[in-house]
Amino acid sequence: MFRRHVTKFLLASSCALGLAPLAANEAFAQMDEGMMRGGMHHRGGGDMMRMRGLNLTEQQRDQIFKIHHDSVPAMREQMKQVQKARMDLRQVAMADKFDEAKARQAADAQAKAMANMAVMRAQTMNRVRQVLTPEQRQKMDEMRDRRGGEPRSRG
């Protein structure tokens, strides 16, 4: 949901500035990345939705929003790296003569960028957990365990 809010914000602000095509490209890129990760694009927002049952204080909600908001620029830069590597790999695949070394280089770059994004998401998740009280963390863990320990897919 957080990513969806960011996407909606980008779309709305870009429309106001006459940049709708650029914002639409960003929104589609985020949806594409979410689908590529197996529908896990909800992590930021899905966790926020599940946090409603934790009775967060206004201060906690503000802190969590700031944590997510502050992570957006770095995640966007990392996403650019993923997209560049994906395009490089696509170009190698579409070339008249296949170059396995270039394909591996592009695939490795994409994997590294995606791994960096995974670490950044984990770091953000940990920062959010630090805002919670021990009781809220325990309740969050119990809610996660009830749904099988895996993030819920919305795709």
Count of residues in the chain: 155
| Helices 2-16 & 43-50 angle (0-180, nearest 10) | 120
The residue-averaged pLDDT of 124-142 equals: 93
Please tell me the pTM assigned to this model: 0.61
What pLDDT shows up at residue 120?
Answer: 96
Q: Does position 72 have pLDDT exceeding 70, yes or no?
A: yes
Residue 7: what residue type?
Answer: T
pLDDT digits (tens, 9 = 90+) for 15-31: 444 444 444 444 445 54
Residue-averaged pLDDT of the chain: 77
H, E, C per residue of 75-90 = HHHHHHHHHHHHHHHH
Supply 102's token pair.
């270039």
CA 76, CA 110: separation in Å to the nearest integer?
14
**What's the confidence (pLDDT) of residue 113?**
94
